[in-house]
Amino acid sequence: MRIPFCFIFSSLIFAQANKPFLVELNRIQSLESFDSKKLYIKSSSIASTLFLPIYSGRNKNIALSSSMVLGEKDSEVELAPVIAGSIKISWNLSIAGRMSAFSNQKNAINIYGWGLAYKPGKEDKLSPWNFGVSSGVYRSFNKLRISSFSLSIIRTISLSKRDAYIGICSNNVKGIDYSINQKLDSQNIQKNFSSFLIGTTFKVRGIKVLPIVNYSVDSFVMAIGLQKEF
């Protein structure tokens, strides 16, 4: 009788002793999962604050564009269609908005945001510099919600047949990872990162084609936009 009793008593002690260890193990695994989503957070932030270094002509006040944002495979933002539009407030200031709603094999995603584009200089001679301020929200159903704020400084380089763009972008990201929240704890996201912008523009049958690359230390996002001005 003593042997079974000792066995049961030892098993109960062992189970209770392992419970804190299992909880801590789950916590560590969740944190590792969060670290693996840094690339996803960067790509989704860039998609929600997409800034195209464009300027409408003197007689054009409205610009509509459709862009495809291409992220890395591990970022879970492999392909994101974004529709954007801008209205000229003055000869050197425009307000822009963007939105997207789509689903893929992994989740349903919603993107929306707005921004301002400012081009210094004079009305008859604009500066090659372009300054952008963007704010955006990225929602992935039951998975991730982030709010992003970005500042962009871009310079136009005039080439023989087309213009090229080069600049830098700084992003501030805040949000919540719902997948971790469901499993264990509420996990708040707060991250700052900077990236380089390289792009160009050319026309095809009256439509501007705007390929641009957003590159940082551990992420690579490419956007291809088509724009029509009115």
pLDDT in tens, 3-51: 444 434 344 333 444 434 333 334 434 444 544 567 778 888 888 898 7
- Tell me the per-residue pLDDT of 39-73, one tens digit each, with 9 for 90 and over: 778 888 888 898 776 666 677 888 888 888 887 66
Two structure tokens written together for 206? 């009256």
- In this structure, which amino acid lies at residue 95? I
- Tell me the per-residue pLDDT of 117-151, one tens digit each, with 9 for 90 and over: 998 888 878 788 999 999 999 998 877 889 999 99
In the chain, the domains with their CATH numbers are 37-229 (2.40.160.20)
Closest by CA to 181, choosing from 40, 33, 22, is 33
Whole-number average pLDDT of the chain: 78
Return the number of other C-beta atoms located less than 10 Å from residue 211's C-beta.
Answer: 14
Please compute Rg for the chain using Cα positions: 24
Helices (H), ranges, the chain: 2-36, 38-48, 178-183
The pLDDT assigned to 152 comes to 94
Backbone phi and psi for residue 38, each to the nearest 5 degrees, phi listed first:
-60, -40
